[in-house]
Structure 1
Amino acid sequence: MSFEPPKRLVNALGEVRDDGASGWLARLPEILQEAVERLELTVERVHVPGGRSSLVVLVRRADGTPAVLKLAPERFRPEAEHAALTHWNGLGAVQLVGDGGDLLLERLHPDVSVRSLPEAKALLEAAGTLRRLWVDPPSWRSCETVADRTGRQAEAMRATAATEPEVVPLVDAALTARDELLVAPPEVRLLHGTFRQSKVLAGERTPWLAVGPDPVVGECAFDLARLVRDRVEDLIASPSGAATTRRRVKRLAESLDVDQERLRGWTLFRAVESGVRALRVGRERDAELLLEFAGWL
């Protein structure tokens, strides 16, 4: 099957510097063709811009039902996403269709996310969706823990700080916050892992459903932290951005019964981690925004 992978996916996979991911990208037309034939699908179109870690294809099943086929390299743990979606079974999240281990999903409205709503309404709808995902984790271990994931990230942050001295104070603050937060987490839940407004799409079964989890097991504040910095470019551009951020932390913590200081701490860690990672791969503008945001916390 001949097609051009979305530029967003190509650029993102280029940043990870992984031979397996680059090899997967080179074989992607053949991988897609094999999946389409095996699942008896008809391709409508590749969704653009799509994701940063997967190819998203709008398809129809043999009976004409619209669906979405998602393909991702092993680096991005598609088996963990499948396991989490199976566990949620459509509660707050997109539902798997068909049998087997493929990421064949119910068709939502891929171009309509809560990010299209006014900011206050978007945060409210996104938070309500996230709450439904916080369930007891499965008894079988299919997802990494917050401690494991942030441990890997902490190592990379230290390595970058060794060559970028200007980020050392923020990295030190973020790592200290992580160490303190991991001592006694208040609960252990199955988390989305990469939740933000653009990960909540309009659906038919319910108005909004979450997509694209990178699931992890841990405390709820870790999951909510990524939502705090949504529309970070608007926050940075606003003269009241710092005050708005602090109000957002307070409002989200109260609305979802999460400890405000724990939410602030995880928001700091995740913003610094993302900013340092952006700096490492040459996305300097993203790094500047994220690290300025982190400085407000």
Structure 2
Amino acid sequence: MHGMCALVLPVERADGTPAVLKLQSLDEETAGEPIALRAWDGDGAVRLLEYDEESGTLLLERLDAARDLSAVDVRDGVRVVAELLARLTARPAPSGLRGLGEIAGAMLDEAPETVRLLADGGERRLLQDCAAAVREVVGEPGDRLLHWDLHFENVLAPLPEPGGEVREPWLAIDPKPLGGDPGFELLPAIANRFDEGDILWRFDLMTEVMGLDRERARAWSLGRVLQNCLWDIRGGGRTLGPMWAVMGRTLLAR
């Protein structure tokens, strides 16, 4: 299997235990993966078996690559993601991870110049409003261990153990971890199998399951909208992606 930045190969350890070898380039996002996986130690996440620091290669517990949340009912999938995030973000972020405060500060620095590249006045105001929401919370960025990218395809079912038991129904994979506020975690599960009419109930369900302050979660979710829009414009776009624009307007109107 592979995504945008990694190749995952099925292997067996010397004792016959199934595992996977994850090969990836080291950057600011991937460098924190072994730190997070060690902190979680298999509690809600795939187990890290070994790590080669020089190459960034990980040896991981093998999960069932054919079973993710893409095929389950959307409401059930959102609840599973929220329940996993409630557990994963219960831990303080270990040292050595990038922080949400730094990321949010960089976004706020970039936003004014980027906004000027948009031709549509309504879109410019939308990004300005997203940035204003982030300014209200950037001084308290949080200190929890965040996964950052927990969407339906990043949740897999474990393989049965030798006795037939399954240690957990679902496990998180492929974190791009940082330290921060759990409200920054919601947008990937709102974007999966996107439906405009689902935005608010997904947001409400996740904040309830995770026990979040809804106003802070709304502000940090608008921060994720801002982040995605900045990426798109940085890549040459001169208009907002329709999904991000709808999400932003819906959350701002709440």
2:191 aligns with one of 214, 229, 232: 229
What residue number does 1:288 align with? Answer: 242
Matches within 5 A, 1:1-297: 47=1, 50-98=2-50, 100-101=52-53, 102-139=57-94, 141-166=95-120, 167-184=123-140, 188-204=143-159, 205-232=167-194, 235-236=195-196, 241=197, 244-281=198-235, 287-297=241-251
Distance, in Å, in 2 between the alignment partners of 1:91 and 1:283 is 40
CA spacing shift, 1:184–1:280, aligned 2, 3 Å: closer
The runs of 5 or more residues in structure 1 that have no matched partner are 1-46
Residue 137 of structure 1 aligns to a residue in which SS? coil
Query: Aligned-residue CA RMSD in angstroms?
Result: 2.3
How many aligned positions are there? 239
CA spacing shift, 1:279–1:206, aligned 2, 3 Å: same
Residue 282 of structure 1: CA displacement? 5.2
TM-score by length of 2: 0.84
Contact 2:93–2:146 (8 Å) recurs in 1: no
Contact 1:194–1:223 (8 Å) recurs in 2: yes
Residue 152 of structure 1 aligns to a residue in which SS? helix
Distance, in Å, in 1 between the alignment partners of 2:27 and 2:228 is 18
Considering Cα pairs closer than 8 Å and 6+ residues apart, tell me whether 1 or 2 has the greater RCO. Answer: 2
Q: State the Cα deviation string for residues 232-290 of structure 1 (Å, max 9, x = none).
A: 2xx14xxxx2xx32222222212221111222222222123213322432578982222
Contact 1:226–1:267 (8 Å) recurs in 2: no
Structure having the higher helix fraction is 1
Residue identity matched to 1:168: R
Q: State the Cα deviation string for residues 87-127 of structure 1 (Å, max 9, x = none).
A: 11111110011364431111011232112210111111111
Q: State the Cα deviation string for residues 145-184 of structure 1 (Å, max 9, x = none).
A: 1111222333444443232243321221111111101234
Contact 1:81–1:212 (8 Å) recurs in 2: yes
Q: State the Cα deviation string for residues 23-76 of structure 1 (Å, max 9, x = none).
A: xxxxxxxxxxxxxxxxxxxxxxxx1xx222222222222333221111222225
TM-score by length of 1: 0.73
